Structure 1
Amino acid sequence: MKALKKKRAKGFTLIELIVVIAILGILAAIAIPRFANVTTDAVKATHNANVATLESAANLYIANVGTTAANGKTGTDIVTAGFLKELPKIPKGLVIGSTTYDGTTTYSITIGANGAVTVTPAAQ
């Protein structure tokens, strides 16, 4: 008489599956907030680059027309003079204080009497 051989079932046990799901959940809980910060950091970096570009364009404008002639001029004047193609829009999702920008507002540039350039909102 042949001895009955016990067939071994192939696959994962319930405990193994629960452990794997728990590990995946922990990894997701760590990774998701890090990716959210990447987006926020990218928006701030874009904003700061825009502010630096606008300040440079305004300073070139001042260098060409002089401090006295530049007094009181705005971003529109700088665009009209050809130092900027257009005023960029403030990046969508930028949060400054209690204001969250939606990507439709443009920056404001003002040149003061002493040649001081003010870009609003300022770099963060």
Structure 2
Amino acid sequence: MHFKKIKKREGFTLIEMVIVITIIGILSSIAVTKYSQIQANAKKNADYATAANLATAAMISISDGKSSNTEIQPTSLKNNGYIQFVPKSKSAKGKPFVVSADGDSVTVTIDDVPFYPKSE
């Protein structure tokens, strides 16, 4: 009786390669989804920080007597030297911030969505 030697194949089979590529595809799609959520949160947090800076500038402008206690335009805050540039929203695709003052309180909104004071 003559036995055939079984050769051990080197490399991977097509099925093994397809499985690995599928797993890598699933993992990368999960990573991209998480990254886009993190990016959206970062843009929103940047808008919260910008709104707080605008509110502070508006309060100083009111206390200096350069703004009235109504809607304050960010361009007037820039022209009076309270901010260096007129900011645009990061999370709302460049829409303008609206700064309103009523007595001692200042609110900053984008499309009627409050950004200052920040709601918890």
Task: State whether TM-score is above 0.5.
Answer: yes
Percent identity of equivalent pairs: 31
Residues 50-102 of structure 1, C-alpha deviations (whole Å, 9 max, x = no match): 11110111112123228xx63235123322221112320111xx2xxxxxx33
Aligned residue for 1:70, secondary structure, equals coil
* 1:107 equivalent among 90, 97, 112: 97
> Within 1, Cα distance between the matches of 2:81 and 2:26?
54
Letter aligned with residue 53 of structure 1? N
Aligned residues: 110
TM-score w.r.t. structure 2 length?
0.73
Unaligned residue ranges in structure 1 (runs of 5+): 95-100
Q: Partner letter of residue 78 of structure 2?
A: V
Q: Does 1:13 align with 2:3?
A: no
CA distance in 1, matches of 2:76, 2:104: 15
Letter in 2 for 1:24: I
Q: How far apart, CA to CA, are the structure 1 residues paired with 2:80 and 2:104?
A: 17
Q: Do the aligned residues in 2 keep the contact of 1:55 with 1:119 (CA within 8 Å)?
A: yes
Q: Label 1:117 to 1:17 Cα distance change in 2 as closer, same or farther (>3 A).
A: same
- Aligned CA RMSD, in angstroms, stands at 2.6
Q: Is the partner of 1:83 in helix, strand or coil?
A: coil
> Contact 1:79 / 1:86 at 8 angstroms: preserved in 2?
yes
Pairs within 5 Å for 1:35-54:
35-54=35-54
Distance 2:34 2:58 in 1: 36
Alignment gaps of 5+ in structure 2: none
Q: Is the Cα–Cα contact under 8 Å of residues 100 and 108 in structure 2 kept in the other structure?
A: yes
- For residues 109 and 6 of structure 2, what CA distance do their matches in structure 1 show? 78
Runs of 4+ residues over 3 Å off in structure 1: 4-9
- The corresponding residue for 2:81 is 82
**1:98 equivalent in structure 2:** none
Q: Distance in 1 between matches of 2:86 and 2:42?
A: 20
SS of corresponding position for 1:117: strand
Structure 2 match to 1:118: 107
How far did residue 8 of structure 1 move? 4.2
